Amino acid sequence: MGERTLDKTADSLKQHGLYIENRRTLKLTGVEDVDYFDEQGVTAYTCCGCVNISGTSLHIEELRLDDGALFVTGEIDAVIYTSGDKKKKGFLKRVFSG
């Protein structure tokens, strides 16, 4: 029998999680980019696909792309996953890249 190797890439080790508390606080992990945000919605790309968050008075309290964490507060009405491909350059990358 051949020797089994553990050749895991960084992408295969990423974890994704969604935590909502009282429809007022949301924590999303595995975030790779945020494409869009305003008071009615946030679109984030995760290691498991695109996540659309809708509601009212939404605010991004914290975004840490180094460890993939996104914290949103406000009145959360819906969280929808889509399988759309990630855009080549997200909103934050377009704003902060030269």
Q: What is the pTM of this model?
A: 0.74
pLDDT for 26-54, tens place per residue? 999 999 999 999 999 999 999 999 999 99
Interval 57-77 mean pLDDT: 97
Closest of 68, 79, 42 to residue 57, by C-alpha: 42
- Integer Cα distance of 62 and 82 in angstroms: 23
Q: Following CA atoms 42, 47, 49, 52 in sequence, which dihedral angle do they give, to the nearest 10 degrees?
A: -10
Q: Is 92 exposed, middle or buried (0-12, 13-18, 19+ CB in 10 A)?
A: middle
Q: What is the pLDDT of residue 3?
A: 46
What is the chain's mean pLDDT, rounded? 83
Q: Which of 35-44, 47-56, 69-78, 86-95 has the lowest mean pLDDT?
A: 86-95
- What distances in angstroms separate CA 94 from CA 32, 59, 67, one per listed residue? 14, 20, 20
Q: What is the pLDDT of residue 40?
A: 98
pLDDT at 2 over 50: no
